[in-house]
Structure 1
Amino acid sequence: MPSVAGQEVIGVLVVDDHAVVRRGLAAYLESADGIEAVAEAVNGRDALVQLRRLATENRLPKVVLMDVLMPEMDGISAIGEILASYPDVRVVMLTSFGEVERVYAALQAGAAGYLLKDADPDEVAAAIRAAARGEVHLDPAVAGRLTRQLVSPPTGLASLTARERTVLALVARGLSNRQIAAELYISDRTARTHVSHVLTKLQLSSRTQAALVAIREGLIPPPSP
């Protein structure tokens, strides 16, 4: 990346499925000292395409600023793939959703920051700079919720293991226990056990309720109208 006054400019890839949001963020970043919006993407899959292109052009950004809920590939799913291919890239989530479960999922996936879309523009820039330094920056409201969660037992999605989250997403996609077993290369009995644990931990009585929870919490996108 080029430098300004001897300091390296932080390149940022802006990822959001709403064009107005993307362009607004890009315009703001262009005005922030030491930060440059190098490209835009409409979802997690497109972000990977843009990163491959930028890498071949030797313009790989230092930070990806990304929404959580997007079609085709959501932000949390994209984090792992981005970090696997580009370990030096940092990912900051910028979203309207501040539920603790989503924050946990993002941080566990490797996010270097989590901001709400009503954040002050200067805080967005601060989060990008912190991520570029290898630090983690959380929205104050999000940090407060995490702190409160730490002193109480986990509930909701936070109570599920990584495998149980995967099972919940597969249930929400309409897969039967046998299909889940085939998808995860486990026995039918193990699949049934996982589904039972998911329903018990979430205090649900049906797979339909589980599917609604998965959609509400952003594990899978809502069905198309």
Structure 2
Amino acid sequence: MRTRILVADDHSMVADGLGRIVADVADLLGAAHDGRELVEAATRLKPDVIVTDVEMPELSGIDAMRHLRMVGCTARFIFLTMHRSPELAAEALRLGASGYLLKEDAGEELLVAIKAVVGGRTYLTPRLTAHVLRQMAAPPDAVSTLSDRQRQVLRLVALGKRMKEIASELDISVRTVEGHKAQLMDRLGCESTADLVRIAIKQHIVPQ
């Protein structure tokens, strides 16, 4: 049986290109163009492998993976990104990704990564391996220890949403939102909302 793959990228041309690459070795189920669309498509189509960018609208690829893991999705995630950050790659792997490679290497290396993760192995681009292994040996940073709700609040604060808007979107009280924000400020060592925004951008929780 051929591997069933879902691809996700907020640029349609990139998503189409990925689809053409993987179609030679797998059944392409479709393409998503933001994090929420990825969650919906993965829940409905139940792919074996998801190839996704890290930085996307609505939800980052990493947050989409976290959400899908919570609802029992067992698809293997391969992150295909332009970001060379060892910290970001290490976080993705810690949270359950099976692969991480760079967009500039998409093509033959992506097919190698798909074969590896379908076989139950983890694939990490050789360009980053040494740096990522050192990063994973270090204690996790504060952002990687945030709960899903805290990451949701951080993302919405960084997008400029007001407390009432966040409360309405998450279906919680304004006081609860304020409490989460205070906890975020404390845990992340922030003195202002601007500091939270900078961290969210650096961690690719929201686009630059």
Summarize deviations over 1:86-117 as a string: whole Å, max 9, x none: 53311111111121232233223221111110
Match of 2:37 among 46, 58, 61: 46
1:140 aligned counterpart, secondary structure: coil
Distance 1:41 1:194 in 2: 30
**1:38 maps to amino acid:** L
Match of 2:23 among 19, 25, 30: 30
Alignment coverage as a number of residue pairs: 198
- Cα gap change, 1:86/1:129 in structure 2, threshold over 3 Å: closer, same or farther? farther
Distance 1:116 1:27 in 2: 17
- Verify the 8 A CA contact 2:87 2:135 in the aligned structure 1: no
Which ranges of structure 1 fall in alignment gaps of 5 or more residues? Answer: 1-7, 55-59
2:77 aligned counterpart, secondary structure: strand
My pick for the range that moved more, 101-110 or 15-24, is 101-110
My pick for the range that moved more, 34-43 or 45-54, is 45-54
Structure possessing the higher relative contact order (Cα contacts under 8 Å, 6 or more residues apart): 2
2:55 aligned counterpart, secondary structure: coil
**1:211 maps to amino acid:** V
- Cα gap change, 1:205/1:52 in structure 2, threshold over 3 Å: closer, same or farther? closer
Pairwise mapping of residues 76-87 of structure 1 onto structure 2 (< 5 A)? 76-87=62-73
1:163 aligned residue: 146
- Cα gap change, 1:143/1:182 in structure 2, threshold over 3 Å: closer, same or farther? farther
1:144 aligned residue: 130
Cα deviation for residue 78 of structure 1 reads: 0.6
- Cα gap change, 1:159/1:143 in structure 2, threshold over 3 Å: closer, same or farther? farther
1:3 aligned residue: none
My pick for the range that moved more, 122-131 or 205-214, is 205-214
Summarize deviations over 1:92-150 as a string: whole Å, max 9, x none: 11111121232233223221111110115221011112222222111112222213335
Pairwise mapping of residues 105-144 of structure 1 onto structure 2 (< 5 A)? 105-144=91-130
- Cα gap change, 1:150/1:184 in structure 2, threshold over 3 Å: closer, same or farther? farther
Alignment RMSD, CA only?
A: 3.1
- Cα gap change, 1:152/1:143 in structure 2, threshold over 3 Å: closer, same or farther? same
- Verify the 8 A CA contact 1:168 1:198 in the aligned structure 2: no
Match of 2:7 among 8, 11, 14: 14
**1:124 maps to amino acid:** L
2:54 aligned counterpart, secondary structure: coil
Q: TM-score, normalized by length of structure 1?
A: 0.72
- Cα gap change, 1:182/1:107 in structure 2, threshold over 3 Å: closer, same or farther? farther
Which ranges of structure 2 fall in alignment gaps of 5 or more residues? Answer: none
Distance 2:95 2:138 in 1: 22
> Residue 221 in 1 paired to residue 204 in 2?
no
- Verify the 8 A CA contact 1:10 1:129 in the aligned structure 2: no
- Cα gap change, 1:193/1:76 in structure 2, threshold over 3 Å: closer, same or farther? closer
Cα deviation for residue 215 of structure 1 reads: 1.6
